[in-house]
Structure 1
């Protein structure tokens, strides 16, 4: 019998990726959310997944959502509002994602329905993962409520939960139909959370946009003092750089070995774990960036001035700039291999040769990195107010 020839096909699926900006999103007179729904077959059944931590600061939020859906009932139909824990507790294991999956089943959310995730980055990650695997993909809208989430977590194409003591071990690549940044939702953040998310903007500016970095450097006081105008500018420019990288960088689903947007993250993820998530993600990223810059300075890749200047920016913003003394250097160095395993293939760590000039290395001198870790340690974790 003759063997049939092989079949090989190729197809391209276009993605539309939009980050929208507004204020008072759930004011019934604000039609932005309704406009996002307008391209879907309405009225669209919706499961709202909301961060309990956010609700503590916005006790009337559920009533606002209910009123908005009632006012725009021709386009959208609210099935249920599900409250989930905020922070890493929401994605520490599959407990909360299974709760979202059960609600998707209980309230008959289908592939033409929407999961609307409202909260910080961890809740956005977890709810997005549940939406991605239910029915092989339920439509997702992200409404991030922290600076970190508006700057980074909600803007990407990744979703995930933690497992086996490793961050984002289980996850998916799945695009939301929209990310909506409502600047009003940031006004109730604690100072620590207001500041923490700025780390991702410093990160992407160091990699891709020197002018943006110098803008941050010149506006640290206004940002620290909670100027909404400056914060809106920072979030917009950060989102633009992130989305440009995703849409034009040639590797939106990270098929290769390079992950420049994870600059500083190999150690940040490990520090979060080793401090039982006492460190916020943004705080750990700031430390991780400075650790990699300290190493790059030791290797002669950058001048002392670059390291000192970036560290000074983080300090001016109010970040803790010392690695906790109780973090063992050898334990932290295990984050290198965990980082490699998470992606697979060759170890690839993104560093910079100067502000706005990124490059990748594939080997790390662990003895030199251990010295850099010790250099950044102090007896206690100190946060400035």
Structure 2
């Protein structure tokens, strides 16, 4: 399995913020505020040569002026400045880098060249780079809320990577509404360096991650996502919502995150072969995540359907068969046991139609 250890990205000992600002409408202020107010468990070093303090925290004129090694650097300065800043990070021995800044491959050829340059530099220094064009990361273990929006996710067993920051952050908000928590989240942005398969393989080995979610808009021709997913899906559920499925959506994805369109038919077949569960919409993704979080993973594909109304049994049976599940015939032993619980006019088959029995005791006995 392609594995890159991202512990110092998601659980850094400290953080430096290059482009930290005292102006409330700038991302260098907003992201820093989110990190501080949610109680990150290590030192935070704002970097801005024009300021002494920001939000009551000592500000440093440069990365090199920080008095200790730095695990994670977050950059919010304009795109043309990023290349030189990566050289600074390399000299400092920085482990991981989150580039919030946009204006790279999602904008066209010139932006693509800049992105290729910063990625080559980061890899040369051995730095893991998130983005560029990312909305940030979250980690429950270290109380790391390095995000552009002020969302505070519940803590739980879901981990997610998303090629759209807005879609991913919406999942965090919906998780709060539905009472399900996240362990880690990353807005992967343009995926210049770290790609979906890197996050997927890392989440697979992360003991605190129980279910893996993803929002994808496209894949590079050399993507190893399929090969990685075939191994990961044997360990944990992998749920994916794919955007850019149509010609129009694919064009929008290219200008949004620089994603390369892939045939939906081909991708859907690959997902199924790998064991990935593909959802048709964002609401389905969060609903399915809740189901896997709250229930044990089934050991097989045989389904017994118990319903108080026949129509819902028919609908569920259709859905099961359409998705490759088997609705088996009930054994004589089970039917005899049901006869002792249900009225004579129950369905005597699978689905088990309880024939409008509304009390809870027969329902629990049938289960």
Q: Which has the higher contact order (CA 8 A, sep 6+)?
A: 1
TM-score by length of 1: 0.32
TM-score by length of 2: 0.33
Larger Rg computed on CA atoms: 2
